């Protein structure tokens, strides 16, 4: 499982790093969200390597700072390693995956195409990993006041009521650059019972796409809109993508615009424009009625 996961991460363009399990007293206080009992060495080599780490994040930040100081701007790295703590006088070791992203995730100098790392790209990588491990449609993301994370650009990852990690932007007070992390407890991820992956044949019939942008309250989550779209659009609605989130001119200060591309298809026949338009209009009506939304003019 670990080998396959590493190959998956490398296919995203991420570079694997290996860091020390021992950290300093300053580092141990960072990203220690669960306030675990520490494991200290009796005869440390130095003050910088005196405590067993409770998070991989500070170590990856050190790697980031080292490379940044040498004028490397695009830093996309990951580590799979152990953290250590004590619980009821027992020594605990847990396996974690931590990813750090900053700068450009994809860069094509020939075509002058760049993909800058942001919250949504980070979220996309996280969702790809969770889907790859068989957890699609089983996890949820919730906004929490996470220690050392950006309050508006971070979230806890849960399966049911159990937290399995978190992701988002590091608090600018810790690093003034725009740095994003994904932190997953692999022991909790791999203990989940998952069904075998099912493969579906690609349809030989053409799909039809429709774009729509909804203006909604600023605090409304996209997931709430997506749930209504999915429920109303089934079974011909086969994919939903967010392609724009806008706040600014021509949108009320208390509102935001979220734009979606909806894909409709059928494996047995070619859809007509009319039947897709009927479903599309029904989706718009449902979202407008249930979420007090309006369609943004193009």
Domain assignment present for 58: yes
Specify whether 28 is located in the same domain as 147.
yes
pLDDT level of residue 298 (50, 70, 90 thresholds):
low
What integer is the mean pLDDT of 122-131? 92
- Output the domain CATH number for residue 231: 3.30.70.380
Q: What is the number of structural domains in the chain? A: 2
Specify whether 185 is located in the same domain as 216.
no
Specify whether 154 is located in the same domain as 214.
no
Give the chain as a DSSP string.
-HHHHHHHHHHTT-EE----SEE-HHHHTTT-TT-PBP-B-SS-SBTTB-EE-S-SHHHHHHHHHHHHTTT---EEEEEEEEEEEEETTEEEEEEEEEEEEESEEEEETTTTEEEE--HHHHHHHHHHHHHHTT-TTTEEEE----TTEEEEEEEEEEETTEEEEEEEEEPTTT-SS-EEEEEEEHHHHHTS--PPPPP-PPPSSPPEEEEEEEEEETT--HHHHHHHHHHHHTTTEEEEEEEEEE-STTS-TTEEEEEEEEEE--SSSPPPHHHHHHHHHHHHHHHHHHH--EEPP-
Q: Is the confidence at residue 62, as pLDDT, over 80?
A: yes
pTM of the model: 0.75
pLDDT level of residue 110 (50, 70, 90 thresholds):
low
């Amino acid at each position: 499982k670990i080998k396959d996961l590493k190959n998956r991460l490398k296919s995203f363009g991420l570079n694997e790093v290996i860091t020390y399990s021992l950290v300093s007293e300053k580092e141990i206080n960072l990203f220690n969200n669960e306030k675990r009992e520490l494991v200290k060495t009796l005869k440390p080599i130095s003050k910088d390597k005196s405590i067993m780490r409770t998070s991989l994040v500070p170590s990856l930040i050190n790697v980031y700072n080292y490379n940044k100081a040498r004028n490397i701007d695009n830093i996309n790295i990951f580590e799979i390693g152990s953290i250590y703590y004590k619980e009821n006088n027992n020594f605990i070791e847990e396996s974690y995956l931590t990813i750090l992203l900053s700068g450009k995730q994809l860069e094509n100098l020939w075509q002058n195409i760049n993909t800058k790392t942001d919250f949504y790209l980070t979220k996309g990588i996280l969702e790809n990993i969770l889907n790859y491990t068989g957890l699609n449609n089983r996890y949820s993301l919730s906004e929490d006041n996470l220690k050392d994370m950006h309050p508006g650009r971070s979230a806890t990852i849960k399966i049911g009521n159990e937290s399995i990690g978190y992701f988002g932007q590091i608090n600018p007070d810790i690093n003034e650059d725009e740095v994003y992390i994904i932190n997953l407890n692999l022991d909790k991820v791999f203990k989940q019972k998952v069904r075998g992956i099912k493969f579906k044949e690609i349809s030989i019939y053409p799909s039809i796409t429709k774009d729509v942008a909804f203006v909604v309250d600023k605090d409304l989550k996209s997931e709430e809109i997506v749930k209504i779209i999915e429920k109303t659009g089934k079974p011909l609605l086969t994919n939903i993508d967010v392609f724009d989130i806008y706040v600014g001119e021509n949108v009320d200060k208390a509102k935001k615009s979220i734009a979606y591309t909806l894909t409709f298809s059928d494996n047995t026949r070619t859809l007509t424009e009319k039947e897709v338009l009927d479903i599309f209009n029904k989706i718009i009506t449902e979202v407008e009625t249930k979420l007090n939304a309006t369609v943004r003019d193009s």
